[in-house]
Structure 1
Amino acid sequence: MSCYPLSAARPLVLLGTALLLAGCAATPDEAVTRPEVADRGAPPEEGASEAQPAAPLMPSLFFPGDAGTLTAWRCTPAQDLVTAATEEELRLWSAHGAFRLLPAVVASGARYQQGDLSFWNKGDEAVVESATGRLDCTRDLSQKALTRRQRPGTMFHARGNEPGWVVNLASHRPEATLVLDYGEREMTLPYRVTTLDNDEARMILASGRADIPFELRLEARACFDSMSGQPFPARVTLSIDGEQYRGCGQGIAP
């Protein structure tokens, strides 16, 4: 039987072992591959052309949904996970994919399930199970999800270290602001979407200017800041000027 997840239809792979946490992260029919929408209802900025192209849609699993917190989990066998939970759903990111689980009945704690894949937690402990494997996890670090109030005009925020860099994608137009080399270089450039795969929760952007080429790859995967350890729902790779910058990011809903 086939199913249509908001992410890769691949299982959670238990790193360092042959076990697989299988299970299809299917969603309700009306939510299948539904991307998040940029805030297109807002009026254009003063002086902007109304014919200016709008910012693209992005895969839903770049975003924490309605959850206000992102939580990192350290698991055995060795694997690190990120979750964002509400009463309506749990979004779960691993090194190999992203999944969306719905609430399930449980005697104590909180439990979410989709197909064979389930996530149960109580306090600082969690168990992730499927028909073929189990992870025993401990809560490590939580951080507040980024909001539009904190990042006005931004649909997606990414950053990395050594050297420090930041990328902000505008919420109303296909435009990227790149801040590189610890802030020594800053440029705002148009971009175009070359790959958009909602099922795989993956997106590739390329520069809209031939004289300043760049490529930005976004994937819904568990990501942790290399200095602080803060959890994020997306891995980001920026290629520009023959250099490659790696870091983490999060979609920011209106």
Structure 2
Amino acid sequence: MQLNLKTFFTPIALTLAACSSEPNKAEIPPVTYLLECDTFEYVARSDGERLWLFLPGETLALPRVSQGRYQNEDLAWQAEGEAYRLSGWQGVDHLCRNNPRKAIWEHAKLNGVDFRAVGQEPPWVLEMSGTSVHLWQGYERTERVLRVMEQTQSSAERPQTRYRLEDRDGQTWLLRLSPGHCADPMSGERFETRVELETEGTQYAGCGHALH
């Protein structure tokens, strides 16, 4: 199994990143939801002025009509406390709840992230987009920006993708991705890739998966 991580930005993600209702208005960071309903789930993404709905089989955009409410002539989406009501889709009202843990991964995907990984004790998060890697470490979420300098692939018998990374201070990091079942020790969430990160004798272990 070869992990082929290519930079991939959907037209919708590019549109969302570029949206701004006024040239001089401060850009509002997008908010992403993973909404779980009785019989289905869907992703919603707000950029402040419109809401994108990634529904089963179709993608729709609703303009904002008031705080927490988006609506067009056919559909309405309304925040109701900790629940979110989608009215009119397939002729039915759907009351759904956000799953914040899953929403984080959908948010990264729509931001153009190709691969995301998490680890614990101390906590860390890694996001790879093409040859750019962002690493957040510790409870204070100290951020490092790294660049992929070299990529190698091991044999088919023991598949593993290795990356040699370098940060802005010239420090070398080694990132190893191995296919196989992996579970986060804190949340119990299961992943498809084992992740190892190493620099100057310090090692990090975690789990992740490709988003595109």
- TM-score under structure 1 length normalisation: 0.41
Task: Select the structure that is richer in strand.
Answer: 2
Task: Select the structure that is richer in helix.
Answer: 2
Q: Which has the larger radius of gyration?
A: 2
